[in-house]
């Protein structure tokens, strides 16, 4: 595995240790979401993997907030809006310097 970039290291350090060890990086994890939500999440993860990005799906930050996908390479969060609404998403708070991108 190639050495982590500064952005990847920074983003990974925001995630709970249980989500950043072992095989969680680059793994598409199944949560309690709908089938449509999971399929869209898997498509986004596949695209990130194809582009050589490191990611964590169903990542939990140290403050307990969860994100559908954390793109460690770019420092973005992807939230799939299949089972969530814009209002639910606005209630979430993410670490500073990480941009949340909504995917419908």
Rounded CA-CA distance 28/41 in Å is 8
Q: What is the pLDDT of residues 11-70, one digit of tens each?
A: 999 998 887 776 688 999 887 888 999 999 999 999 999 999 999 999 889 988 889 999
The pLDDT score that the predictor gives to residue 73 is 96
Alpha carbon 97 to its chain's center: 14
pLDDT at 52: 95
- Strands 76-80, 55-60: parallel, antiparallel or unpaired by DSSP? unpaired
pLDDT at 22: 64
Q: Which DSSP category does 15 fall into?
A: B
- Give 104's contacts (C-beta < 8 A, 6+ positions apart): 81, 82
Q: State residue 103's pLDDT score.
A: 87
Q: Measure the CA–CA gap between 31 and 52, rounded to whole angstroms.
A: 24
């Amino acid at each position: 595995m190639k050495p982590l970039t500064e952005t990847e290291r920074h983003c990974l350090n925001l995630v709970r240790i249980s989500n950043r060890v072992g095989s969680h990086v680059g793994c598409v994890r199944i949560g309690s979401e709908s089938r449509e939500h999971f399929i869209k999440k898997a498509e986004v993860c596949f695209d990130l993997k194809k582009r050589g990005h490191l990611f964590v799906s169903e990542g939990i930050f140290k403050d307990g907030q969860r994100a559908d996908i954390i793109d460690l390479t770019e420092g973005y969060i992807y939230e799939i809006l299949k089972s969530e609404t814009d209002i639910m998403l606005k209630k979430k708070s993410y670490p500073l310097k990480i941009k949340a991108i909504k995917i419908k």
